[in-house]
Chain A
Amino acid sequence: EAQVTQNPRYLITVTGKKLTVTCSQNMNHEYMSWYRQDPGLGLRQIYYSMNVEVTDKGDVPEGYKVSRKEKRNFPLILESPSPNQTSLYFCASSPQGDTQYFGPGTRLTVL
């Protein structure tokens, strides 16, 4: 089944403790992206990658890192999480960056 998977689906952590949210797609898509979704603010793009080893900042990249060492994986790294990063995170993939297919989401709470 063609899909985008994210892990973990739920995470509660404390300020400053490094964490990684994994994202994997099995559709051989070139493009992958991370979004955060907050009430009243909609979906905002954090980082995206047009291809392996190519990453670019979206609208809200501060406090996040990404890497794209292989086509199928695009992990989101929070080196020192803060409470304002509490949010619902979505990973997406796309053949060329247009129509995007979203994962199920990761709900992160930073205390």
Chain B
Amino acid sequence: GESVGLHLPTLSVQEGDNSIINCAYSNSASDYFIWYKQESGKGPQFIIDIRSNMDKRQGQRVTVLLNKTVKHLSLQIAATQPGDSAVYFCAENMWGGSGNTGKLIFGQGTTLQVKP
């Protein structure tokens, strides 16, 4: 069945270093991918998204890369800061023949720990 998974449950990085969080997906028909950040006690917060007709998209300090050949998605955070400590989820928006199905499938999440 469809699944969206993250490679590592926890990632620990030094403040100022770059972070790379990975995600693998299994549905080759998916059209749209999103990264969310969830801080303790809060709901997931949108970070950045990418459509399947792109392979890279940049935001402020974040970059998402999409490799459709191997069904792999990654989130890169430049100059990681203590405020980046959170759980990061990738999500896959399922599209069907008539467009957006409305279904969103989340990965398990990677906890990013930033060491001062």
Contacts and interface: CB of A to CB of B under 8 A. Distances in A.
Interface of A: 4, 31, 33, 35, 40-45, 48-50, 56, 58-59, 90, 92, 96-105
Contact of B43 (A33, A97, A103): A103
B93 A98 contact: yes
Interface stretch (B10-18, B44-52, B61-69, B73-81): B44-52
A31 B46 contact: no
Contact of A43 (B42, B45, B89): B89
Contact of B106 (A31, A42, A98, A101): A42
Interface of B: 32, 34, 36, 41-46, 49, 89, 91, 93, 100-109
Q: Dominant SS at the A interface?
A: strand
Nearest to A91: B43
B46 A40 contact: no
B110 to A, nearest CB: 11
Given A41-B108, A56-B102, A99-B46, 19 more contacts: A33-B102, A33-B104, A43-B44, A45-B103, A45-B104, A48-B102, A58-B103, A59-B103, A59-B105, A97-B100, A98-B32, A98-B34, A101-B46, A102-B36, A102-B45, A103-B43, A104-B43, A105-B41, A105-B42
Contact of A50 (B34, B46, B102, B109): B102
A42 B32 contact: no
Contacts, number: 61
Contacts of B107: 42
A50 B102 CA distance: 7
Contacts of A59: 103, 105
A62 to B, nearest CB: 16
A90 B100 contact: no
B34 A44 contact: no
B43 A44 contact: no
A15 B45 CA distance: 32
Nearest to B109: A42
A102 B104 contact: no
B102 A90 contact: no
Contacts of A35: 106
